[in-house]
Amino acid sequence: DAGITQSPRHKVTETGTPVTLRCHQTENHRYMYWYRQDPGHGLRLIHYSYGVKDTDKGEVSDGYSVSRSKTEDFLLTLESATSSQTSVYFCAISSGGKTQYFGPGTRLLVL
């Protein structure tokens, strides 16, 4: 299994508060991704990174920002959490060649 961890694994927060999720890899892969998974919608790309400090938006990026200051870490920030951002968030990594390796996920509940 690829060395990829996510923290926290579970979080409950209140509407309007900022939240940061962390993805950490030990594989030195160039590409990193943040997805959210919701019933009826499948996996949707929020943001992705193609190198340190190089990021781009996915299909559902509104309300989210990301940062990648080191190869191994990719942070996802919900600037002001809303109930619609209650979801399961997955980080994935890739060395190129399309195969993506997923982390275990973070369950976020926004009350």
Q: How many CB atoms lie within 10 A of CB 6?
A: 20
Within 39-98, the residues that bind other proteins by CB under 8 A are: 40-45, 48, 50, 58, 90, 92, 94, 96, 98
Nearer to other proteins, 16 or 51 (CB): 51
CB of 8 to other proteins, least distance (A): 15
Stretch of residues binding other proteins (CB under 8 A), selected from 11-19, 29-37, 66-74, 79-87: 29-37
Does residue 8 have a cis bond before it (omega within 30 degrees)? yes
Can you tell me the distance from the alpha carbon of 71 to that of 81, in angstroms, rounded to the nearest whole number? Answer: 26
Only one residue has tokens 């559902």, namely 60
Give the span between the Cα atoms of 5 and 46, in whole angstroms: 18
- Which residue, 70 or 107, has its beta carbon nearer to other proteins? 107
Cα separation, 43 vs 27, whole angstroms: 23
Interacting residues toward other proteins by CB under 8 A: 31, 33, 35, 40-45, 48, 50, 58, 90, 92, 94, 96, 98-105
